[in-house]
């Protein structure tokens, strides 16, 4: 189960809590499994250039990796539990379980908001919840937003022109229907900073759908820091007042960046550290602790080290990659 954040947890405890048990066996190969891996084709000879016939994916086997540890894809298997991510996850679970209608997670781009939304999506018990994820694009109007929500719920929408009120009625019927079956609608809205004013008011309306004793849905918003500034506008006061629980994701501190890199390598099948201390310090300096930037820089470094035939990534390799960064 999900435990309270403890700052000094061993690396294995920082794994995705729910997926850890069933998935660990293949997510993190045991040492014996690793020792059985066939000999690396390109045995590193320091200084020698990478063979001309090398394929793009060879950089993974060169570094004894089974998958790319620094892919930009949002994959919950790679979820590394920093305290801030832990707190964000736990708070939003509270919002959902305690019938609070709105929750908010903010953070700069690349700090892990979408990943937390995926973690929530996967961890909600389908017997009790109907979670849907909606990705907002710039200036999405309220009709488009409603359509997205209904689509995600698999509800047929009459052909246009269809009045917003009619769609809202379809949604409210669906929410009541779910409730009658012992389930609650949870709407996760990613990139909420793109929501138009009318869409934000629509979210307030949806959060008002209730029966005398309880709220019938929960909406969790994920957006960039600037969204908070927007919420300060007096016209959003009632929306703001409904968000009791918020959480902010921040860039990682140096010590977490070090563990984050180790953890991702471990999940990708590499037990010993590939980046030396000088390299990690350089990554922290250049990426500023932003996960997406760390991933990008580390992946460039894996490729650069492969092309220079270097088995360990040091500061010099990171400096080389910084030029493309
Ligand atoms: N705590 C974390 N553990 C593992 N990977 C993370 C973590 N936070 C962010 N990432 C990774 O960093 C990248 C950017 O994260 P993402 O959720 O897309 O950020 P945002 O939505 O805030 O822009 C993704 O590849 C994601 O998997
Ligand atoms: Mg995102």
Chain segment 122-155, per-residue pLDDT in tens:
999 999 999 999 999 997 899 999 999 999 999 9
Mind listing the pLDDT tens digit for each residue in 48-91? Answer: 655 555 566 699 999 999 999 999 999 999 999 999 999 999 99
Mind listing the pLDDT tens digit for each residue in 217-241? Answer: 999 999 999 999 999 999 999 899 8
How many independent structural domains does the chain possess?
2
Same-domain status, 153 and 236:
yes
CA distance 130 to 19: 20
Of the bound ligands, which one is closest to the alpha carbon of residue 189? 2
CA distance 32 to 305: 26
Residue 258 lies in a domain: yes
Same-domain status, 72 and 105:
no
- The confidence score (pLDDT) of residue 11 equals 62
Ligand 2 centroid to residue 190 C-alpha, Å: 7
- The minimum-distance atom of ligand 1 relative to the CA of 224 is 22
- The confidence score (pLDDT) of residue 37 equals 35
- The minimum-distance atom of ligand 1 relative to the CA of 116 is 17
Q: Locate 277 and state its tokens.
A: 């201390």
- The minimum-distance atom of ligand 1 relative to the CA of 85 is 1
Taking each continuous run of H as one helix and of E as one strand, the counts in the chain are 14, 7
Residue 176 lies in a domain: yes
Q: Other C-beta atoms within 10 Å of 178: how many?
A: 17
- The confidence score (pLDDT) of residue 48 equals 61
Same-domain status, 92 and 124:
yes
Q: Other C-beta atoms within 10 Å of 194: how many?
A: 17
Residue nearest to atom 8 of ligand 1 (CA): 112
CA distance 40 to 127: 47
Residue 1 lies in a domain: no
Ligand 1 centroid to residue 318 C-alpha, Å: 21
Residue 267 lies in a domain: yes
CA distance 324 to 286: 12
Residue 240 lies in a domain: yes
Same-domain status, 64 and 205:
no
Same-domain status, 237 and 169:
yes
Of the bound ligands, which one is closest to the alpha carbon of residue 72? 1
Same-domain status, 201 and 235:
yes
Of the bound ligands, which one is closest to the alpha carbon of residue 295? 1
Query: Does the pLDDT at position 213 exceed 60?
Result: yes
Mind listing the pLDDT tens digit for each residue in 7-55? Answer: 445 565 665 544 443 333 333 333 333 333 333 444 555 556 555 555 6
Same-domain status, 151 and 210:
yes
CA distance 111 to 206: 28
Nearest in space to 213 (alpha carbons), one of 94, 99, 88: 99
- Residue 159: pLDDT band by 50, 70, 90 thresholds? confident
- The minimum-distance atom of ligand 1 relative to the CA of 73 is 25
Residue 2 lies in a domain: no
Which residue, 231, 249, 267, sits at the end of a domain?
249
CATH code of the domain covering residue 187: 3.40.50.300
Residue 5 lies in a domain: no
Same-domain status, 45 and 95:
no
Q: What is the pTM of this model?
A: 0.85
CA distance 147 to 151: 6
Cβ neighbours of residue 94 closer than 8 Å, sequence gap 6 or more? 100, 245
Same-domain status, 110 and 241:
yes
By most ligand atoms within 8 Å of CB, the mutation choice from 13, 70, 87, 112 for ligand 1 is: 112
Q: Other C-beta atoms within 10 Å of 86: how many?
A: 21
Same-domain status, 137 and 280:
no
- The minimum-distance atom of ligand 1 relative to the CA of 78 is 4
Same-domain status, 35 and 71:
yes
* Average pLDDT estimate for 197-201: 94
Same-domain status, 108 and 237:
yes
Residues with CB under 6 A from ligand 1: 72, 74, 78-80, 82, 85, 107, 109-115, 291-292, 295
Host domain of residue 69: 11-79+253-322
Residue nearest to atom 26 of ligand 1 (CA): 74
Mind listing the pLDDT tens digit for each residue in 272-298? Answer: 999 999 999 999 999 999 999 999 999
Residue nearest to atom 16 of ligand 1 (CA): 112
Of the bound ligands, which one is closest to the alpha carbon of residue 191? 2
Residue nearest to atom 17 of ligand 1 (CA): 112
**Nearest 5°: phi and psi at 265?**
-65, -40
Q: Other C-beta atoms within 10 Å of 4: how many?
A: 8
Ligand 1 centroid to residue 238 C-alpha, Å: 31
Residue 284 lies in a domain: yes
Which residue, 196, 231, 249, sits at the end of a domain?
249
Which residue, 227, 249, 271, sits at the end of a domain?
249
């Amino acid at each position: 189960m999900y435990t309270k954040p403890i700052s000094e947890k061993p690396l294995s405890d920082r794994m995705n809590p729910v997926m850890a048990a069933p998935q660990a066996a293949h997510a993190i190969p045991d040492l014996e499994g690793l020792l059985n891996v066939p000999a690396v084709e390109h045995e590193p000879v320091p200084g020698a250039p990478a063979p001309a016939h090398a394929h793009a994916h060879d950089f993974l086997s060169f570094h004894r990796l089974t998958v790319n540890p620094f892919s930009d894809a949002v994959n919950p298997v790679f979820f590394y539990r920093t305290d801030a991510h832990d707190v964000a996850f736990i708070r939003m679970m509270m919002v959902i379980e305690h019938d609070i209608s709105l929750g908010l997670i903010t953070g700069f781009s690349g700090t892990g908001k979408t990943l937390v939304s995926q973690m929530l999506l996967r961890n909600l018990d389908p017997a009790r919840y109907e979670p849907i994820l909606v990705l907002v694009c710039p200036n999405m109007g309220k009709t488009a937003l409603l359509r997205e929500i209904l689509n995600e719920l698999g509800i047929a929408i009459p052909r246009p022109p269809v009045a917003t009120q009619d769609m809202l009625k379809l949604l409210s019927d669906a929410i009541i229907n779910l409730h009658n079956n012992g389930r609650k609608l949870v709407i996760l809205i990613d990139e909420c900073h793109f929501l138009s004013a009318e869409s934000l008011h629509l979210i307030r309306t949806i959060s008002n759908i209730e029966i005398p004793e309880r709220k019938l849905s929960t909406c969790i918003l994920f957006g960039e820091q600037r969204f908070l500034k927007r919420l300060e506008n007096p016209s959003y006061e009632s929306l703001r007042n409904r968000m009791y629980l918020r959480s902010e994701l921040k860039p990682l501190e140096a010590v977490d960046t070090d563990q984050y890199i180790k953890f991702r390598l471990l999940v990708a099948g590499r037990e010993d550290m590939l980046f030396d201390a000088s390299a990690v310090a350089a990554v922290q300096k250049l990426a500023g602790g932003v996960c997406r930037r760390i991933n990008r820089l580390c992946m460039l470094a894996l490729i650069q080290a492969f092309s220079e035939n270097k088995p360990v990534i040091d500061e010099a390799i990171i400096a080389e990659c910084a030029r493309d960064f």
